[in-house]
Each structure stands twice: as C-alpha cells, then as structure tokens.
C-alpha cells in the first residue's frame, strides 16, 4: 500500500507542477499580469474525519512556507504554495502528530479593481501532502514514531476567503482563513478498524508578497 501511495504522490506532485507552469505561461496575454513571490505562515486547528474514528479533539499546530502568485486577469489569479504543515489530532490521553510537506494550487477570484488598496478574495484548489513523519504520545510522555501506521500521501481540496492589503506598490499583506478538506484515507489498513480516516485542517494564515516583474 505504501509503495502505491508513494507512486501516486509523485504523480500527483508532477501533475500539480505541470498544471501550475502551464497556467503561469498561458496567462501572458493579460496586459497587466504580474508575478509575485512571498512567505506565509499560520495556525492550524487539525483533526481527523471519519464515520467511526472516535470523538477526537483538535490539535493546535502551525504551517509555514512559500507562495508564488500570478495574475491572469484583473479579477483572477493562480497561486502555487509549498509549505510545511503540522497536523494530527487528540483523543485523550493520546496525541498524534503528522507533519507534511504540502503543495497547493489555488484559483483566486478578486473583488474590486486592481487600483484598490484592499481587495477581498475567494479561493479554492487541490493540494497534495507528503508525510515527513508521524509520531504519537500518551499524556506527558515522549513522542514515538508511528510511521508504519499512516500512509505516505494525503490529498484533497483547500478553499477559503482572504484579503490583499497593499503596503506599497507591488507589496501586499495577505491574510486568509481556509479549510483543507482531506479526501484520502491517511491510515494503513485496519488501523481504525474498517473506517477510513481523513485529515481536516482549519487554518488562519498571514503572508507577505513581493513583485518579481
């Protein structure tokens, strides 16, 4: 199973990368198109989802990474994100910590005009997460590795709302609130009985971007 998931994760990553490059290259027809690069980070409220996985509590963690934006029209753009995301869940007295390297492609819809200093936006798009490590602890004990319990790849859909706040020409402060809805079963066979287990992560983020052209 892990070999299949590893192969799928590589395929999904290449697919995301090719799609992103195609969208960036094909957006050159927009006369005012701009490209920007920035950093982002935020707080994760992570949990497990599933019909029979127990009454889990949120695990509060964090994410941070890079974002590349490209406008394709005055009201729309594409973002490619690469970040480190710490996730998991709690089921007293056990805490599970899952750390992912995550890639995301987002389609952004901006309200208003490009001359505005504050532009609300809606966004949505696919993500793929590649498991870096999985650990679990009981109570105040030490974390122990449980990599054999969880699959190597997670994928799903991210969606949310945000703002672009102009700090100066070409430099934007970018806060957002989003939900990452996991669609993949992240647990190895029979780990949670016959139930599938998926990630669910609510994030509050802030970033800053700088122009590349």
Residue range 81-114, pLDDT digits in tens: 999 999 999 988 899 999 999 999 999 999 998 8
* Alpha-carbon torsion, ordered 148, 153, 155, 160, to 10 deg: 80
pLDDT at position 205: 98
Q: CB–CB of 146/134 below 8 Å?
A: yes
Give the C-alpha separation, 61 to 79, whole Å: 23
Please give the distance of CA 141 from its chain centroid, rounded to a whole number.
Answer: 29
List alpha helices for the chain, DSSP H: 2-26
Domains of the chain: 2-211 (2.40.160.20)
* In the predicted structure, residue 3 carries a pLDDT above the cut 50: no
Task: Tell me the Cα Rg of the chain.
Answer: 18
* In the predicted structure, residue 207 carries a pLDDT above the cut 80: yes
Residue range 176-203, pLDDT digits in tens: 999 999 998 898 766 666 678 999 999 9
Residue range 116-167, pLDDT digits in tens: 999 999 999 999 999 999 999 998 888 999 988 899 999 999 999 999 999 9
Give the C-alpha separation, 121 to 112, whole Å: 9
Q: What is the pTM of this model?
A: 0.85
Task: Name the band, by pLDDT with cuts 50, 70 and 90, for residue 9.
Answer: low
pLDDT at position 30: 54
Token duo for residue 28 = 């050159």
Residue indicated by tokens 């006369």: 31
Residue range 17-74, pLDDT digits in tens: 555 555 555 554 554 558 899 999 999 999 999 877 768 899 999 999 999 998 888 8
Residue 94 makes CB contacts below 8 A (sequence gap 6+) with 136, 137, 138
pLDDT at position 61: 97
pLDDT at position 17: 59
Give the C-alpha separation, 101 to 127, whole Å: 10
pLDDT at position 115: 87
Residue 90 makes CB contacts below 8 A (sequence gap 6+) with 56, 57, 58, 59, 96
């Amino acid at each position: 199973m892990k070999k299949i998931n590893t192969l799928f994760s590589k395929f999904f990553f290449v697919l995301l990368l090719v799609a992103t490059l195609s969208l960036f290259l094909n957006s050159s027809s927009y006369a005012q198109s701009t490209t920007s690069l920035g950093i982002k980070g935020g707080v994760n409220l992570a949990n497990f989802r599933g019909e029979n996985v127990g009454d889990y509590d949120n695990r509060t963690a964090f994410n941070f990474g890079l974002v590349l934006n490209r406008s394709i029209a005055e009201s729309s753009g594409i973002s490619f994100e690469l970040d480190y995301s710490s996730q998991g869940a709690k089921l007293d007295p056990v805490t599970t910590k899952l750390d992912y390297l995550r890639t995301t492609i987002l389609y952004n819809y901006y309200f208003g005009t490009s001359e505005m200093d504050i532009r609300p936006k809606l966004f949505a798009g696919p993500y793929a997460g590649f498991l870096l490590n999985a650990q679990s602890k009981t109570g105040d004990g030490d974390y122990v590795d449980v990599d054999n319990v969880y699959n190597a790849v997670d994928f799903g859909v991210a969606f949310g709302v945000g703002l672009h706040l102009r700090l100066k020409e070409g430099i934007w402060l970018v806060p957002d609130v989003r939900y990452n809805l996991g669609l993949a079963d992240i647990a190895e066979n029979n780990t949670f009985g016959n139930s599938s287990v998926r990630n669910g992560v609510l994030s509050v983020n802030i970033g800053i971007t700088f122009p590349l052209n």
